Amino acid sequence: MRRAVKQLWRHRRGNTLAVVLGALLIAVLYALGALSENHALADAAATAMQVTAVVPAGLTLVMLLLLAFTVTFQFYLERALWQRRRQEFGVARLLGLSANRLGGRLVLEALVRQAVTLVLGLSLGVVVSKLIAMAMVRLMGLHVTTGLLWSPLTMLELSVTLMVVAALQGLLDALAVRGRDLTPWLRPLPVTALPTRRGGRWRGLLGAGLMIAGWVVMLGWRPLLSRLPQQNRQWGGLGLLVVILSAWLIGTYWVIRDGLPLWLTALQRRHQGRWLISTTMTLTTIASRLRAHAHSLWLTTILASVTMTVLGSASMVYGVATAEMNRAVVAPVVVTAQTKRSVLAALPQAPTRELTTKLVVGRLTGGAASHLGLYQVMAASDYLRLRRGQPSLPALQLTGRQAMVITTRIGQVQRHFGERHRPHVIALARGPQVQVAQVTNQFPLGQDVFFDRGLVVTDAAFAQVVGTTDRLWGLYPAATAATRRAVNRLARGDAQLSFVANTAAVRAGRQLPRLATVAGGRTWSRAAAAYRAPVRAAGQTLFGFGLFLALLAGTVVVVATASILLLKLVIAADGSQAELAVLQQLGLPATSARRITWQTVGGVFALPLVIGVADAVVTLVTLHSQVAEPSGGLAAVVITVYIVVFLGFAWMTGRLIDQLSLVGRAGPED
C-alpha cells in the first residue's frame, strides 16, 4: 500500500488531473441520483404536470447515460496515464521486478486512486447537489425548499460500481505488462503520426466541399422537402437527414485527417524564410499534432458539434415553449358556448370579453406548397377591440381584400432560403379570396380555443363570409384565493373538447363546419375551456426539466471532451521535451518556445470549436426559421458559455505544458 501511494504521489500531476476530473463527474452522478430520490421534488413536479413518474424516470435515465459515459472516459484516462509511465515499467522489469508484483502494484494504484476520487467526488456531490437542485427548481418553476441531499443508497451504488471499474482497469494494466518483452519501453514514447495518404489534398478539399454542401442543404431544408410529394415527405426528410449527417461525418474526418495537415505544411513551406521561425515551427507542430491525433480530434469535433447543437436546440425549444405557454391561454379563463354556463356558475361575477368568429375552410397557396385548414374568421373591429386589453397582439393595417393569418405554423407563410417570392393567397370555401398581408402567432384570447388557424379580415369581407358562428369568451375573475381554488377545481375536472368533422364535403365547401362534442373520424379539435395558470405551470415544469437535463448532460460532455484534448496535448508535449531541449540549446529563445506551445494549443483547441460552432449555428438557424419566436438569445448565451469553458481548458492545457517544460529543464518529473 505504501509503495502504491508513493508511486501515485510521484506521478501526482497526471493523477491529480484524473482525480479532479473523475470527482467532478461523480459529483454530478451523485446529485442526479439524490435528486431522483427526493420525494418532495417529485411530488411537486407531479402536481404541476399531473404525471407522476416523469422527473424520477428522467433523472435516472440521464444518470445511467452519464455513468456509462463516465466509465468510458475513465478507461480512456487510465490508458493515457498508463502510456506516460511505460518507460518506468520497462526500467522496473529491467531491474528485476517480477511481472506479478508490478501487476499487483498497478491494481492497487488503480484502487487507491479511485477511492480518493470517490471520497472527493461524493463529498463534492453532497454540496453540489443543493446547487443543482436549486437550478432545477428554478428552471421548473416549482416552490420547493431543498437542503443538502443525503442519499446513502446512491453513494453505495456509485462506490461499488466505480471500484469494480477501477479493479478491472488495474487488471487490464497488469495483463498488459505480463508475459511480454518490455525492453522497447525503455525508450520514450514517440509521437506517432498517421501516414500521409496519396491524394490527401484532394480528399481534404472534397471533405470541405461535403461539409459546406451539408450546411447549404440544412439552410434550404424546407424548400427541398416542399418539392417532395406530401406522402413522401416524412421518409424523404429522414433520408435527407441521413445523407447530411453521413456527408458531414465523412467530410469532417477527411478535413482533419488529410486536408488541414497538408495545407498547414504547404503554407509553412511556402513562407519558410519569410516568416518568423516560431511561426513556421508552430505550423509544423500543429500539423504533426493533427496527424498524430486525427481520430481523437475527429471524435472531439463530433462531440463538440453535437453538444453545442443539443444545448442550443434545448435552449431554443425552452424559449419557444415558454412563449407557446404564454400565448396558449391569454385570459385567466377562456370558454366556448359548450362550457360557458358551467364555468360562469363557478365564477359568477367574472367580467367577460366576447369574440365572434365564423368557421370556414380555406386553402393557402403561394410559396412552395398549398395548405388546407380550418379558419376562425373574425372582423377587424372585433380584433382591434380585443387588442386594447391584449397588448401582445400586433397592430393591424388591412385594406380591401387583405387579411392577417394567425397560426402557429408561421413558416408556411414566410419566404425561406431558396424560395422565389410569391404572394400568399387564401381561398375561402364560402367567402372572398384574400391576400395575406400580415402573419402572427398571437391568438386573441389564446390559441387553445382555436381549432387550427385564425384569420382577421376587414369588416366588409367578414360580412361576405358564410360560416358557422363560433363565439369565445374571455373571463377575468378577481385575483383572490377563492377564485384560484375555483379555477384549479375546474382545471382538474374532466377536460372537455370541441370537434369539427374533417370530411370531404366540409373541405370542398359543400357543407358548413359543424361543432360537436364527440369525435367521429377525422376531426379538428380544441379545448372547450382553457385555464391560464395550470397550463403555464405544467409547461414551465416540463420544458424547464428538459432544459435542466440538457444543460447538465452538456456540462459533463464538455468537461470530458476538453479533457481528452488536454491529455492528448500534455502527453504529446511530454514526449517532445527532448526535441525542445535540443532546439533551445541550438539557440531557440525561451519566449519563442513558449509562444510555439501556446499557439499550438490554441490551434488544436480552435479546430473542434470552430467546426462545432459552425455546425450548431447552421442547425439553429434552420430551426429558428421554423418558429416565429425570437428564441435565439438564450441559445447564443448557452453556446457562449460553452466556448468560454472550452477556452478555459485550452488555457489550462497551456499552463500544464509550461509547467512540464520547466520541470523538464529543472530535473525529473513530479
**What is the chain's Cα-based Rg?**
32
Structure confidence at residue 107 as a pLDDT band (50, 70, 90): confident
pLDDT (0 to 100) of residue 74: 80
The mean pLDDT of 441-470, rounded to a whole number, is: 91
Q: Are 424 and 365 in contact (CB under 8 A)?
A: yes
Residue 198 has pLDDT above 70, yes or no: no
Residue 195 has pLDDT above 60, yes or no: no
Q: Are 465 and 428 in contact (CB under 8 A)?
A: yes
pLDDT (0 to 100) of residue 221: 67
Q: What is the Cα 538 distance to its own chain's centre?
A: 22
Choice among 91-95, 357-361, 562-566 with the minimum mean pLDDT: 91-95
pLDDT (0 to 100) of residue 490: 85
Helical axes 590-624 vs 532-575, angle rounded to 10°: 150
Residue 617 or 269, more confident? 617
The mean pLDDT of 235-257, rounded to a whole number, is: 81
pLDDT (0 to 100) of residue 420: 53
pLDDT (0 to 100) of residue 516: 87
pLDDT (0 to 100) of residue 199: 66
The one-letter amino acid code at 616 reads A
The whole-angstrom separation of Cα 474 and Cα 424 is 31
Strand partners, 377: 358, 455
The whole-angstrom separation of Cα 221 and Cα 228 is 12
Kindly write down the DSSP assignment for every residue of 35-86, as one continuous string: HHT-HHHHHHHHHHHS-SSHHHHHHHHHHHHHHHHHHHHHHHHHHHHHHHTH
The one-letter amino acid code at 405 reads V
The mean pLDDT of 236-249, rounded to a whole number, is: 79
The whole-angstrom separation of Cα 610 and Cα 208 is 13
pLDDT tens across 631-642, in order? 667 888 888 888
pLDDT (0 to 100) of residue 92: 63
Residue 56 has pLDDT above 70, yes or no: yes
Upper half-sphere CA count for residue 614 (Cβ side, 13 Å): 17
pLDDT (0 to 100) of residue 404: 93
The whole-angstrom separation of Cα 130 and Cα 145 is 10
The mean pLDDT of 290-303, rounded to a whole number, is: 83
Show the cell assigned to 400: 380591401
Residue 184 has pLDDT above 90, yes or no: no
Structure confidence at residue 144 as a pLDDT band (50, 70, 90): confident
Per-residue burial over 366-396, b if 16 or more Cβ lie within 10 Å, else e, is: bbbbebebbbbbbbbebbeebbeebeebeeb
The whole-angstrom separation of Cα 301 and Cα 304 is 5
Show the cell assigned to 63: 444518470
The whole-angstrom separation of Cα 363 and Cα 511 is 16
The mean pLDDT of 368-380, rounded to a whole number, is: 85
Choice among 180-184, 316-320, 591-595 with the minimum mean pLDDT: 180-184
The whole-angstrom separation of Cα 218 and Cα 636 is 19
The one-letter amino acid code at 227 reads R
pLDDT tens across 505-533, in order? 888 888 889 888 888 778 899 988 888 88
The whole-angstrom separation of Cα 294 and Cα 285 is 14
pLDDT tens across 145-159, in order? 777 888 899 999 999
Residue 246 has pLDDT above 80, yes or no: yes
Give me the percent of the chain exceeding a pLDDT of 70.
79
Q: Where are the domains of the chain?
A: 1-189, 339-527
pLDDT (0 to 100) of residue 383: 94
The whole-angstrom separation of Cα 410 and Cα 405 is 9
The mean pLDDT of 96-115, rounded to a whole number, is: 76
Task: Kindly report the average pLDDT of the chain as a whole number.
Answer: 80
